[in-house]
Amino acid sequence: METSHLSRRGFIGSSAVAAAGMLMLSKSSFARSVFGGADKPNSVVGGVLIGVTTYSYGHMKNVSAEDMLQYCLQDNISGVELRGDAAELTAGAPKRAAGQSGADFAKIMADWRANVSMDQFKAIRKLYNDAGVNIYAYKPVVFGTNNTDAEIEYAFNAAKALGATHCNCEMPEHNDAQTQRIGDLAAKHKMRVGYHAHTQATPTLWDTAMAQSAYNCINLDIGHYIAGNNTNTLEFIEKNHARITSMHIKDRKVNNGPNTEFGLGDTPIKDVLLLMKKKKYKFPATIELEYKVPADSTDVKEVAKCRAYMAAILSA
């Protein structure tokens, strides 16, 4: 699910940064009211960072990076995988005009990416860090086969400006040349890339990519892994933990079954979290909300439930 681009061109400029800073000044009072006196969120439980991908807030009306930060604060989340759509929106990306072709808009975006200042992304990083939230991962929208090398390099530069330790992207389908290309550029920028798979995941899916480059890694989604009828989740994590950038946490049923609320599916969330705690793995456990949100709820409320479920396991 991709959120639509909204026009906030120039939101973060020399004067707008100050305006955004004023907006964020309210975070302390907001956080105190939510967290009972704590100025900043803390979602490290049992030594494991419970994070969230901003994809989880895709049903919310407002989808800029500033909005995503507020949702994280409401959920007491101190680490995040920031998606490229939200970051670029705040950084001033152009809006697609009515009737404009996808190809024409892609050229406009490529030009914008070639010229945007990394100061825009550094300003986003400051907003998050000042609020107590670390952007540990960046998921760009420009790691596709139709994107140029220049766009991919732009994404690595943006990730570094945001303070991310790695990028995550979708695993290309049957395209070893693409993982080689991304891996080579990742090595140039010395930044790891975690490839995210769906039910096509197998215990050996990532082997070729990881052999191509030390910077090609795994963004394991344990829900998709289980839905693909893989039964060795814990063994896979133990074997490959050094190459896991961050892990997506969701619950699904086997046999390509549906997403469920945490605890109602077949995914061994509890066992995985306890393994991370026991082994002191440092990669984050990233909430990815994909089950249907009840009509009387919101993405923010459901992420809070997911966080509470995980925290209860890790604090036991």
Domains of the chain: 14-315 (3.20.20.150)
pTM: 0.88
Average pLDDT on 128-145 reads 97
State yes or no: pLDDT of 5 exceeds 90: no
CA–CA separation, 17 vs 230, rounded Å?
47
State yes or no: pLDDT of 2 exceeds 90: no
Average pLDDT on 279-292 reads 98
Are 244 and 237 within 8 A, CB to CB?
yes
Identity of the amino acid at 250: K
| Residue 59: φ, ψ to 5° | -90, -5
Average pLDDT on 212-241 reads 98
pLDDT in tens, 40-88: 999 999 999 999 999 999 999 989 999 999 999 999 999 999 999 999 9
Smallest CA-to-CA distance from 90 within 153, 165, 17 is with: 17
CA–CA separation, 185 vs 153, rounded Å?
7
State yes or no: pLDDT of 108 exceeds 50: yes
pLDDT of residue 9: 34
Higher per-residue pLDDT: 143 or 36:
143
CA–CA separation, 249 vs 287, rounded Å?
5
pLDDT of residue 190: 98
Are 281 and 288 within 8 A, CB to CB?
no
pLDDT of residue 32: 40
Which DSSP helix (H) or strand (E) runs through 232?
none
State yes or no: pLDDT of 7 exceeds 80: no
Q: Which two tokens stand for residue 120?
A: 């825009």
CA–CA separation, 64 vs 122, rounded Å?
15
Q: How many CB atoms are located within 10 Å of the residue 71 CB?
A: 22
pLDDT of residue 38: 56
pLDDT of residue 39: 80
pLDDT in tens, 252-268: 999 999 999 999 999 99
pLDDT bracket for residue 13 (50, 70, 90): very low
Are 247 and 284 within 8 A, CB to CB?
yes
